[in-house]
Amino acid sequence: MKLDVIKLDGGKAGDIELSEDLFGLEPRADILHRVVRWQRNNAQAGTHKVKTRSETSYSTKKIYRQKGTGGARHGDRNAPIFRKGGIYKGPTPRSHGHDLTKKFRKLGLRHALSAKAKAGELVVIENAEAEGKTAALAKQVANLGWKRALVIDGAAVNEGFARAAKNIEGLDILPSMGANVYDILKRDTLVLTKSAVEALEARLK
């Protein structure tokens, strides 16, 4: 499939042939869902913790005699039945991550790129270079109509562009190796440089 290549000032810079294997697939929600779930689960801290009855700060002395009170037979105040006692079977620190094969992760990325291409939310620019001035880049982004955009560059991100983009709300930038399904789907517009297209095609072939 062919797509026009533009410059940051909005001018045309020719066109580019995009691989059908990366940008021409019929997007499958089940594949995208599995990859996003894998990403979010791996990012989850898993540090939630409650105190068990051995960790609460009451005395372990028997609170009253066993017989003759007319009440239930209790031991110490740390029992889960009491207010502020230990929690029974509560959450403990653990990893929420699970495995997903490299082959499937690559497939998910191909479907994410295809989803953006099919929705008309894919833009290819000649390069992502700037002098580091936020105001100038913000004006260009506004003129191009990008409100929530992810810019993916080649092997490395241009320092001036990264510095200028840092304070622009809704504009993210990643090197090609950082391209991932969650960030691509999260933004309304996916912007690829020509070097990013080449790098992604080499990475996902």
Q: How many domains does the chain have?
A: 2
- 31 and 57 co-located in one domain: no
Condensed to tens digits (0 to 9), the pLDDT of residues 167-177 reads 899 999 999 99
- 130 and 165 co-located in one domain: yes
Condensed to tens digits (0 to 9), the pLDDT of residues 33-54 reads 999 999 999 999 999 999 999 9
How high is the pLDDT of residue 130?
87
Task: From 146, 154, 202, select the one nearest 175 (Cα to Cα).
Answer: 154
Q: Among 32, 63, 93, where does a domain finish?
A: 93
Query: What whole-number percentage of the chain has pLDDT above 90?
Result: 88
- 37 and 57 co-located in one domain: no
How high is the pLDDT of residue 9?
86
- Least confident among 6-15, 71-80, 86-95, 157-166: 6-15
Q: Among 27, 59, 93, where does a domain finish?
A: 93
Condensed to tens digits (0 to 9), the pLDDT of residues 88-106 reads 999 999 999 999 999 999 9
How high is the pLDDT of residue 126?
92
- 81 and 24 co-located in one domain: no
- 119 and 37 co-located in one domain: yes
- 28 and 63 co-located in one domain: no
- 77 and 106 co-located in one domain: no
Token digits for 54? 């051995």
> How far apart (Å, rounded) are the C-alpha atoms in residues 37 and 44?
11
198 is in which domain, residue-wise?
1-43+97-202
Which has the higher per-residue pLDDT, 104 or 13?
104
> How far apart (Å, rounded) are the C-alpha atoms in residues 63 and 108?
59
Q: Among 72, 93, 114, where does a domain finish?
A: 93
- 105 and 155 co-located in one domain: yes
- 55 and 128 co-located in one domain: no
- 124 and 169 co-located in one domain: yes
Over residues 152-169, mean pLDDT = 92
The secondary structure element, H or E, covering residue 42 is: helix 29-43
How high is the pLDDT of residue 62?
95
How high is the pLDDT of residue 132?
83
Over residues 16-29, mean pLDDT = 94
**Chain centroid to CA 96: how far?**
15
How high is the pLDDT of residue 202?
93
Token digits for 122? 């894919």
How high is the pLDDT of residue 13?
84
Kindly report the average pLDDT of the chain as a whole number: 94
Q: What's the CATH number where 103 sits?
A: 3.40.1370.10
- 134 and 76 co-located in one domain: no
- 145 and 181 co-located in one domain: yes
